């Protein structure tokens, strides 16, 4: 009986010792004692689901690896390109290559241009039918003014000159750029100027015993209209700064219309009859029209604000052939009219 009690006591002691050793081990690995032990129990369930996902995991990893490699290659490519081409200043090459293409495309096609400025016609020499009438400087007193006749022979090889004042010039142009550097256009314009003076070169005795001083300028009243219709060929140079220089040349016809006030008609040799010693002055103004060939050249600079709108400034030179007016100014031979103009305007592309 006592031996059985001894064995039972030893078994109880061993059980207590075993339980104490397990508690101390778990307390070393899990903070907070054995209470954290049950939280790890779901781990076997998670481990049971791993085999189901295991077959697909390698396939995903195999597909993702090339994609990651391609992404790294793409990320590394611009850096290498920028390192090789230091002139890009860090700008992506695709942007640099694409910009000129868009610029070239924007400058092609149809456009419309409006210009406003001022123009000036150079002195125009003319040959009267037989001569001109000038104020008689030999006359004394305050009586009615008289005129003296100056024949063409008295003026020698030098002829009278008609001077005009600076006037306004407007034009409208419709054109087409068939390439980014060249195009054609049709232009219609109008230039208006007031007549200024007539310079008379000769001096000495004149018809009727009168005299006049040579190289004199006499004021005249009247106006000069020039309406050109021209076809132009234009060259331009587009660039990255959107400041486009351009130049062109053209030719066509100019409609010219001139009016001369009645008190100025004697300086052109226009009267209502009479004799050279006693001409009958016109009571109203004289006028004449003519259509003459003309050509022009021009150049300027345009700032393209957007791909559809630009503003510009330009210089123009235009010249006509020699002409004679129809109407009351018939018989007077004029040298070709030369004019210059400075203008600014706006261009629309569509």
Give the model confidence (pLDDT) of 38-50 as tens digits.
444 444 444 444 4
Conformational region of residue 188, where left means phi above 0, alpha means psi within -120 to 50, and beta covers everything else: beta
In terms of residues, how long is the chain? 350
Range of the domain at 280: 101-349
Residue 49 lies inside a defined structural domain of this protein: no
Residue 156 lies inside a defined structural domain of this protein: yes
- Distance in angstroms (rounded) separating the CA atoms of residues 61 and 89: 39
Count Cα atoms within 13 angstroms, Cβ side, for 156. 8
**Residue 179's domain is classified under what CATH number?**
2.40.160.20
Residue 6 lies inside a defined structural domain of this protein: no
Residue 2 lies inside a defined structural domain of this protein: no
- Distance in angstroms (rounded) separating the CA atoms of residues 271 and 261: 12
pLDDT at 327 over 70: yes
Say how many C-beta atoms besides its own lie within 10 A of residue 244's C-beta. Answer: 20
Strand partners of residue 151? 131
**Could you tell me the pLDDT band of residue 6, with boundaries at 50, 70 and 90?**
very low
**pLDDT (average), residues 54-77:** 48
State what percent of residues in the chain have pLDDT above 70: 61
Helix or strand or coil: residue 208? helix
Helix or strand or coil: residue 166? coil
**Could you tell me the pLDDT band of residue 240, with boundaries at 50, 70 and 90?**
confident
Residue 152 lies inside a defined structural domain of this protein: yes
Is 210 within 8 Å of 242 (Cβ atoms)?
Answer: no
**pLDDT (average), residues 250-272:** 92
pLDDT at 65: 46
pLDDT digits (tens, 9 = 90+) for 110-155: 999 999 999 999 999 999 988 888 876 555 555 555 677 888 877 7
**pLDDT (average), residues 31-44:** 45
**pLDDT (average), residues 240-256:** 96
Tokens of 65: 């690896």
Is 263 within 8 Å of 291 (Cβ atoms)?
Answer: no
> Domain total for the chain?
1
Is 183 within 8 Å of 251 (Cβ atoms)?
Answer: no
Tokens of 298: 């021009």
Residue 285 lies inside a defined structural domain of this protein: yes
Tokens of 336: 């070709």
Residue 25 lies inside a defined structural domain of this protein: no
pLDDT at 96 over 80: no
Is 154 within 8 Å of 97 (Cβ atoms)?
Answer: no
What is the Rg, in whole angstroms, of the alpha carbon atoms belonging to the chain? 50
Residue 209 lies inside a defined structural domain of this protein: yes
- Distance in angstroms (rounded) separating the CA atoms of residues 39 and 307: 70
- Distance in angstroms (rounded) separating the CA atoms of residues 263 and 222: 10
State what percent of residues in the chain have pLDDT above 90: 44
């Amino acid at each position: 009986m006592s031996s059985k009690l001894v064995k039972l006591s030893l078994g109880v002691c061993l059980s207590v010792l075993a339980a104490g050793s397990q508690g101390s081990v778990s307390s070393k690995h899990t903070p907070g004692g054995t209470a954290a032990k049950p939280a790890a129990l779901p781990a076997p369930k998670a481990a049971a689901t791993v085999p189901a996902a295991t077959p697909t995991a390698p396939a995903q990893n195999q597909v993702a690896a090339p994609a990651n490699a391609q992404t790294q290659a793409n990320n590394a490519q611009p850096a290498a390109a920028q390192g090789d081409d230091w002139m890009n200043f860090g700008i992506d090459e695709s942007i640099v290559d694409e910009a000129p293409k868009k610029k070239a495309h924007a400058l092609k096609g149809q456009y419309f241009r409006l210009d406003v400025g001022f123009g000036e016609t150079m002195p125009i020499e003319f040959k009267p039918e037989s001569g001109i009438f000038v104020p008689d400087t030999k006359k004394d007193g305050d009586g009615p003014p008289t005129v003296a006749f100056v024949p063409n022979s008295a003026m020698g090889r030098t002829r009278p000159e008609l001077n005009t004042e600076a006037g306004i010039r407007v034009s409208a142009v419709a054109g087409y750029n068939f390439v980014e550097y060249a195009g054609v256009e049709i232009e219609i314009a109008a230039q208006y100027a007031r007549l200024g003076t007539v310079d008379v070169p000769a001096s000495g005795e004149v018809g009727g015993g009168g005299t006049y001083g040579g190289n004199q300028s006499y004021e005249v009243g009247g106006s000069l209209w020039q309406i050109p219709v021209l076809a132009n060929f234009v060259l331009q140079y587009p660039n990255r700064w959107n400041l486009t220089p351009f130049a062109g040349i053209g030719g066509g016809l100019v409609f010219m219309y001139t009016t001369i006030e009645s008190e100025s008609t004697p300086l052109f040799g226009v009267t209502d009859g009479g004799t050279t010693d006693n001409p009958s002055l016109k009571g109203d103004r004289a006028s004449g029209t003519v259509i003459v060939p003309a050509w022009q050249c021009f150049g300027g600079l345009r700032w393209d604000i957007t791909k559809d709108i630009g503003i510009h400034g330009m210089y123009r030179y235009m010249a006509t052939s020699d002409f004679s007016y129809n109407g009351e100014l018939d018989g007077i031979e004029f040298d070709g009219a030369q004019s210059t103009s400075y203008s600014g305007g706006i261009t629309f592309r569509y």
